[in-house]
Amino acid sequence: MERVCFELEIAPGTEAEYDERHATIWPEMSAAIRDAGLRNYSGFRRGTRVVYYGECHPDVATVFGRLGESEVNTRWAQSFEGVITRLVDDDGNLYLADEVFHQD
C-alpha cells in the first residue's frame, strides 16, 4: 500500500456545485475508484483549493493507471470541465504532495 496526497483548484463560484457533485458521486465512479485499488479516499476543500488523500493498493502508479483507463473516469473528468481549473502539470502529472510525517 502506498499513500497519496494531491491537490487541485476549482473555479471561484463553483464551490457549492463541486461539493454537491461529490456528495452525490455516481455509483459507477465510486465503483471504479474502489476497483482501481483506492481506499480510505477523502477530499477536503478550503475555498477553491481541494486536497485529496488516499491509500493505493498496491501503489499510486497502478491505481491511477487503472483509473486513467476507465471509461467512467473519463466521463467524470469531462463533466468537471470549467469547474476544475488546475489538476495536472504541463507533463500531465497530478500535483502530488510529499509525505513528511505519518503516525498510525
pLDDT per residue, tens digit, the chain (104 aa), is: 999 999 999 999 999 999 999 999 999 999 999 999 999 999 999 999 999 999 999 999 999 999 999 999 999 999 999 999 999 999 989 999 999 999 99
- First CA to last CA distance, the chain: 14
| 3-state secondary structure (DSSP) of residue 85 | strand
Active site residue 102: no
What whole-number distance in Å separates Cα of residue 34 and Cα of residue 67?
Answer: 10
Write 20-24 long-range contacts (CB < 8 A, 24+).
21/79, 21/80, 21/83
Cell numbers standing for residue 67: 483509473
pTM of the predicted protein model: 0.92
For the chain, the domains span 2-96
Q: Which of 3, 22, 49, 75 is catalytic?
A: 22
- Name the CATH topology of 2-96: Alpha-Beta Plaits (3.30.70)
What whole-number distance in Å separates Cα of residue 27 and Cα of residue 6?
Answer: 23
